[in-house]
Amino acid sequence: MALPDSGPSARGLLRFLTCGSVDDGKSSLIGRLLFEARAIMDDQMAKLDRDSRKHGTTGAAPDLALLVDGLQAEREQGITIDVAYRFFGTPRRKFIVADTPGHEQYTRNMATGASTADLAIILVDARKRLLPQTFRHSRIAALLGIRHVVLAVNKMDLVGYDQAVFEAIRAAYAPLAQGLGFRSVESIPVSALNGCNIAGAPASTMPWYQGVTLLPYLETVDITPAAPGPFRMPVQHVIRVAPDFRGYAGTIAGGTVAPGDSVVVLPSGRASRVGRIVTMAGDLPRAGAGQAVTLTLADDVDIARGDLLASAESPPEFADQLAADLVWMAETPLLPGRRYLLRVGTSETGVAITALKHEIDIATGEPRAARALAMNAIGRVTLGLDRAIPFDPYESCRETGGFILIDRESGDVLAAGMIRHALRRASNIAWQGFSVDRAARARLKGHQGAAIWFTGLSGSGKSTLADRLDRALVREGCHTYVLDGDNIRHGLNRDLGFTEADRVENIRRVAEVARLFVDAGLIVIVSFISPFRADRAMARSLFEPGRFFEVFVDTPLEECERRDPKGLYAKARAGKLPNFTGIDQPYEPPETPELRIMTGELSPEAGAERLLGLLRGGGILP
Amino acid sequence: MSTRRAMAEDSAPVSDLDLLEAESIHILREVAAQFANPVLLYSIGKDSSVLLHLAMKAFYPAPPPFPLLHVDTGWKFREMIAFRDRRARELGLRLLVHINPEGLARGINPLDHGSALHTDIMKTQGLRQALDAHRFDAAIGGARRDEEAVRAKERVFSLRAPGHGWEPRRQRPELWRLYNGRMAQGETMRVFPLSNWTELDVWRYIAREGIPVVPLYFARPRPVVERNGLLLMVDDDRLRIGPEEIVRERMVRFRTLGCYPLTGAIVSEAATLEAIIAEMAESRSSERQGRAIDHDQSGSMEKKKREGYF
């Protein structure tokens, strides 16, 4: 057997899945395929003969089904309890067979086997026609993205090799297959037991069948996807070699890549170009889906495991709320609200199932209301992620749309999921315009973006200081903007009152607006009482280190009350203004602000100068 | 290099070996990324040679970020030990060698104590000792699913309970290319990057990549004695030739390599890689046939795995 390892005649690889129950003769079919491909060795055959006498169900003939049974326990029970992988080959293709059981654990095991399979053999017992399990198996195959199906109508020997039986089954299956969107469906009448229509020419027992037999079909079926899709590569590992080699190792999940291609790094959104495709056998001019490669980039960008490299022309979607189908695999049921870890590609993110929309009846495909998902159930859920992730819908790319849910404590895999679409696309646009990055904006403006956050009591002098700083910066040619508490409350936040909850929301919105402006390259001056440490910490957390300057405008309450420029303290003392900071609501002074300005000791102009010095020292101003 | 060119033109791996190689490299990189202290179990055989080659490729131009560990039994072929030390030196890799000191002190050997006890104490217990001593959290091995029926169900990331036992029921589903290395306290992982390779794939890949292997795989005249249906090579004078036994020079080679008194040779003329591949394509017996340990009890691989064997 001469097997060329490369070139157009190189041997290919087909991964397929066999679905059916023990009673359908599934193990016999696989055993027969192995036998026909001469994958069973003499000593295995001798062992089979011994085992057949002990456990077999075929009398004197060797029970080929026993070849594919694994664990001692299941051999004794006569059932398979897990996914087993078999291997055989012909000069044209190597085959990896995922053999999954048809009994009560079928959904979980079948989904596992199907996740890497290109094709499914759906086995039907000719005597029993289409059973509910035929629908289940077909539906799970479709759900997991299998596009090619062989309907193997087995045990034809037990129906007298009757063409009418086969045709009736084939006709009954057609509408189901069409509804599930398979790209190809091949129906073949077989007898695994007698080896009819498994390999070679069509069997003489069924002269009415002149189609292709099973093994030749598996050798030739075209499984190349209709379109290769855009480039995707989850970064597995960063390879560094002193002094300056930095490569990003990963398996290409979709599309192709070549040196010079524009790529975007997600979630950061940084853009760059592919430098080299490095392998031990030399650099490659191009690489495609399924290849494990190491890429270098033209620019010095910060990339870590979990990041996704993607085509800049066709980037993936980006969202933190997703609709997905889940196959629940754990004994403890899914309960909405629980928190898990979600792994897609090489990234892990905290996630909560925020809603269980419905369970999917696998036999009928119909949705039905559900409050929990038990093991082997399938449901449509809403995922709320801790942060937005890049993804593709599962039907576009299995590797960037398929995920597992992991239990935080045991590390167990609880579910497999397929992302269908984003529910909130707001952040979808976040990557847009990232081709103009922060460095480019800074060059244009002549300074970095930053937020100066003034906090202090009402009347402490925040607005005055903000105004002086603003003027001083503009004099220096800086691009600035002032976000003032009173002004914002007239517009963006006019729906908010002064309860604690509203104050929190007030700060959150202002902080988000400030962040956008800083992203745009501005120096943003925020002048807000912002009395609570937790809220200021939240605001700070939105910014990169060194981009947020907390300035405590420290004026004693008595002095503020004495100034009372807007007459608010008087109103509050009179009980006409509830929830007033300093009077009936506390002010929590900053513990470690970037700067503390005592207005009693420093003029506003001098304060502004101190601030300019701070910004120069922090690298914001040149 | 012709492979590279073909790949480049079609922009995707074209052959089954390309795809197997890519899958294994992906798995090795996952180990490096997900575990704090992994180790590659290097058993010197052809599968280990392929594994080592893949590890060199996976992290190129950096060296593999884990050491090699050989659990020695004191009964390996002398050529294996020489090959082991030479390869580690050539590749500049850190090689750890462990022999169960208690087994050594008790003089455990395959001739007096039988294959089952020898394997348990020198291999299974020895491995557990080494993994515990170095606190390795993941051990990469070259086992393949096609070797044995129980292995066919083994995961790529195989979770081991504290104490290294394998619980079939606790194994996790593995979907897509998502290999989950999360573990609870005290648990460890065994990782099998060659899960989907067959013996023939291994040899075709060795030929394609020009990977060095122990010369014992190639047929040569060697002194052998027939014992319990196995052709044993007289590798040193510890084999104790019985009065009825005759040592003969025969043209033999090995399909697998282990402890020499437990590993049967096959009569063969295959002295080159091409001849080995051709012989295998025609072969009518499975690879582990020459391993005494597999035949001691029926279902014995499952038993050994539960006890922490690879």
Same domain, A607 and A478: yes
Cα separations in angstroms, A37 against A2, A9, A64, A201: 15, 19, 13, 14
**What is the percent of chain B with per-residue pLDDT over 70, rounded to a whole number?**
87
Which of A25 and A596 is assigned the larger pLDDT?
A596
Q: Which residues of B touch A49 (CB under 8 A)?
A: none
Position B136 scores a pLDDT of: 95
Least Cα separation, residue B112 to chain A (angstroms): 27
Q: Which residues of B touch A286 (CB under 8 A)?
A: 8, 11
Mean pLDDT across B185-209 = 93
pLDDT tier at B11, thresholds 50, 70, 90: very low
**What is the percent of chain A with per-residue pLDDT over 70, rounded to a whole number?**
89
Token duo for residue B237: 């004078």
Burial class for A615, CB neighbours closer than 10 Å (0-12, 13-18, 19+): buried
Nearest CA in chain B to A224: B12
Nearest by CB: B173 against A108, A279, A289: A108
Mean pLDDT across A517-523 = 92
B145 and A CB contact within 8 Å: yes
Residues in chain A: 622
- In this structure, what CATH number is given to the domain that contains residue A346? 2.40.30.10
Which of A438 and B72 is assigned the larger pLDDT?
B72
B210 and A CB contact within 8 Å: no
Least Cα separation, residue B270 to chain A (angstroms): 15
For residue B105, give the 3-state DSSP assignment.
helix
A545: Cβ–Cβ under 8 A, 6 or more apart, which residues?
Answer: none
Full residue range of the structural domain in which residue A36 is found:
12-220
Position A438 scores a pLDDT of: 74
* Cβ(A86)–Cβ(A15) below 8 Å: no
pLDDT digits (tens, 9 = 90+) for B219-277: 999 999 998 888 999 988 888 888 888 999 999 999 999 999 889 999 999 999 999 98
Distance, CA of B241 to CA of A469 (rounded, Å): 97
Q: Which residues of A touch B3 (CB under 8 A)?
A: 5-6, 281
B202 and A CB contact within 8 Å: no
Q: Do B178 and A287 touch (CB under 8 A)?
A: no
Same domain, A424 and A347: yes
* Cβ(B52)–Cβ(B94) below 8 Å: no
Residue type, A465: L
Least Cα separation, residue A615 to chain B (angstroms): 39
* Cβ(A253)–Cβ(A234) below 8 Å: yes
Q: Do A7 and B174 touch (CB under 8 A)?
A: no
CB pairs under 8 A between A and B: 206
Q: Give the residue numbers of A marked as catalytic.
A: 530
Nearest CA in chain A to B148: A70
Q: Which residues of A touch B56 (CB under 8 A)?
A: 280
Distance, CA of A329 to CA of A108 (rounded, Å): 6
Range from A429-433, B100-104, B276-280 carrying the lowest mean pLDDT: A429-433
Where does a domain end: A429, A458, A488? A429
Q: Which residues in chain B belong to E strands, given as ranges? A: 38-41, 68-72, 95-99, 138-140, 157-160, 188-191, 220-227, 230-233, 248-253, 266-267
Position A150 scores a pLDDT of: 97
Q: Which residues of A touch B285 (CB under 8 A)?
A: 41-43
Nearest by CB: B16 against A12, A237, A279: A12
Mean pLDDT across A281-302 = 93
Closest among A308, A304, A292 to A344, alpha carbons compared: A308
Q: Which residues of B touch A342 (CB under 8 A)?
A: none
Asked if pLDDT for residue B294 goes beyond 90, the answer is no
Same domain, A135 and A25: yes
Nearest by CB: A239 against B11, B59, B149: B59
Which of A199 and A486 is assigned the larger pLDDT?
A199
B60 and A CB contact within 8 Å: yes
Interface test with chain A among B4, B175, B183, B198, by most A beta carbons within 10 Å = B175
Q: Which residues of B touch A43 (CB under 8 A)?
A: 285-286, 289
Interface test with chain B among A16, A110, A239, A414, by most B beta carbons within 10 Å = A239
* Cβ(A481)–Cβ(A575) below 8 Å: no
Q: Do A280 and B60 touch (CB under 8 A)?
A: yes
- Chain centroid to Cα A232, Å, comes to 12
Residue type, A414: L
What are the backbone angles phi and psi of residue A328, rounded to the nearest 5°? -80, 130
- In this structure, what CATH number is given to the domain that contains residue A569? 3.40.50.300
Asked if pLDDT for residue A427 goes beyond 60, the answer is no
Q: What is the mean pLDDT of chain A?
A: 86
Token duo for residue B187: 């648990």
Distance, CA of B290 to CA of B26 (rounded, Å): 32
Same domain, A377 and A409: yes
Asked if pLDDT for residue B6 goes beyond 50, the answer is no
Assess if residue A622 is contained within a domain. Answer: no
Looking at mean pLDDT, say which of A62-66, A521-525, A585-589 comes out highest: A521-525
Q: Alpha helices, DSSP H only, in A119-240? A: 132-143, 163-180, 214-220
Q: How would DSSP label each residue in B216-277?
A: GGS-EEEEEEEETTEEEE--SGGG---TT---EEEEEE-SS-SBGGGB-BEE----SHHHHH
Angle made by CA atoms B135, B137, B140, in degrees to the nearest 5: 115
Position B291 scores a pLDDT of: 57
* Cβ(A355)–Cβ(A382) below 8 Å: yes
Token duo for residue A206: 């069924």
Nearest CA in chain A to B20: A13
Where does a domain end: A199, A220, A241? A220
Range from A96-105, A110-119, A248-257, B163-172 carrying the lowest mean pLDDT: A96-105
Same domain, A450 and A414: no
Position A105 scores a pLDDT of: 63
- Chain centroid to Cα B305, Å, comes to 15
Q: Do B60 and A279 touch (CB under 8 A)?
A: yes
Cα separations in angstroms, A133 against A121, A350, A470, A600: 13, 35, 72, 82
Where does a domain end: A282, A311, A340? A311
Closest among A460, A591, A617, A455 to A525, alpha carbons compared: A455
Position A443 scores a pLDDT of: 77
Asked if pLDDT for residue A616 goes beyond 60, the answer is yes
Q: Do A111 and B178 touch (CB under 8 A)?
A: no
CATH topology of domain B2-202+299-306: Rossmann fold (3.40.50)
Q: CA torsion sign, A174 to A180 to A183 to A186?
A: negative
Assess if residue A7 is contained within a domain. Answer: no
Which helix (DSSP H) or strand (DSSP E) does residue A448 occupy?
none
Distance, CA of A184 to CA of A148 (rounded, Å): 5
- Chain centroid to Cα A183, Å, comes to 25
Distance, CA of A348 to CA of A306 (rounded, Å): 7
Residue type, A341: L
Assess if residue A226 is contained within a domain. Answer: no
Interface test with chain B among A17, A85, A252, by most B beta carbons within 10 Å = A85
For residue B61, say if its preceding peptide bond is cis, omega within 30 degrees of 0: yes
Q: Do B182 and A406 touch (CB under 8 A)?
A: yes
Range from A94-103, A255-264, A275-284, A368-377 carrying the lowest mean pLDDT: A94-103
Cα separations in angstroms, A125 against A137, A155, A596: 14, 6, 82
Domain count, chain A: 4
Least Cα separation, residue B191 to chain A (angstroms): 16
Domain coordinates in residue numbering, chain B: 2-202+299-306, 214-295
A244: Cβ–Cβ under 8 A, 6 or more apart, which residues?
Answer: none
Position B303 scores a pLDDT of: 61
Q: Do A71 and B145 touch (CB under 8 A)?
A: no
Q: Which residues of A touch B60 (CB under 8 A)?
A: 239, 278-280, 294
Q: What is the ipTM of this complex?
A: 0.87
Position B195 scores a pLDDT of: 95
Position A79 scores a pLDDT of: 41
Assess if residue A4 is contained within a domain. Answer: no
Position A431 scores a pLDDT of: 45
Q: Do A13 and B175 touch (CB under 8 A)?
A: no
Same domain, A613 and A469: yes
Q: Do B175 and A12 touch (CB under 8 A)?
A: no
Same domain, A494 and A558: yes
Assess if residue A177 is contained within a domain. Answer: yes
Angle made by CA atoms A291, A297, A303, in degrees to the nearest 5: 85
Q: Tokens 């070259």 map to which residue? A: B142
* Cβ(B61)–Cβ(A278) below 8 Å: yes
Same domain, A585 and A467: yes
pLDDT digits (tens, 9 = 90+) for A17-73: 998 766 778 878 888 888 888 766 666 667 767 766 666 666 556 666 666 655 444
Asked if pLDDT for residue B299 goes beyond 80, the answer is no
- Chain centroid to Cα A269, Å, comes to 17
Q: What share of chain A is helix, strand, coil (3-state, %, to 5)?
A: 30, 30, 40
Q: Do B172 and A116 touch (CB under 8 A)?
A: no
pLDDT tier at A322, thresholds 50, 70, 90: very high
Least Cα separation, residue A232 to chain B (angstroms): 14
Burial class for B223, CB neighbours closer than 10 Å (0-12, 13-18, 19+): middle
Asked if pLDDT for residue A388 goes beyond 70, the answer is yes
Q: What is the mean pLDDT of chain B?
A: 87
DSSP state of B120: I
B150 and A CB contact within 8 Å: yes
pLDDT digits (tens, 9 = 90+) for B130-151: 999 999 999 999 999 888 777 7
Mean pLDDT across B119-128 = 91
* Cβ(A441)–Cβ(A600) below 8 Å: no
A500: Cβ–Cβ under 8 A, 6 or more apart, which residues?
Answer: A579, A585
What are the backbone angles phi and psi of residue B204, rounded to the nearest 5°? -65, -40
Q: What share of chain B is helix, strand, coil (3-state, %, to 5)?
A: 45, 15, 40
Position A425 scores a pLDDT of: 56
Position A234 scores a pLDDT of: 98
Distance, CA of A158 to CA of A257 (rounded, Å): 53
Q: Which residues of B touch A75 (CB under 8 A)?
A: 299
Position A158 scores a pLDDT of: 94
Position B114 scores a pLDDT of: 86
Q: Do A83 and B16 touch (CB under 8 A)?
A: no
Burial class for B176, CB neighbours closer than 10 Å (0-12, 13-18, 19+): buried
Assess if residue A157 is contained within a domain. Answer: yes
Q: Which residues of A touch B290 (CB under 8 A)?
A: none
Q: Do A10 and B15 touch (CB under 8 A)?
A: yes
For residue A414, give the 3-state DSSP assignment.
strand
Closest among B258, B256, B255, B268 to B222, alpha carbons compared: B268
Q: Alpha helices, DSSP H only, in A182-284? A: 214-220
Q: Do B4 and A5 touch (CB under 8 A)?
A: no
Nearest by CB: A71 against B13, B18, B153: B153
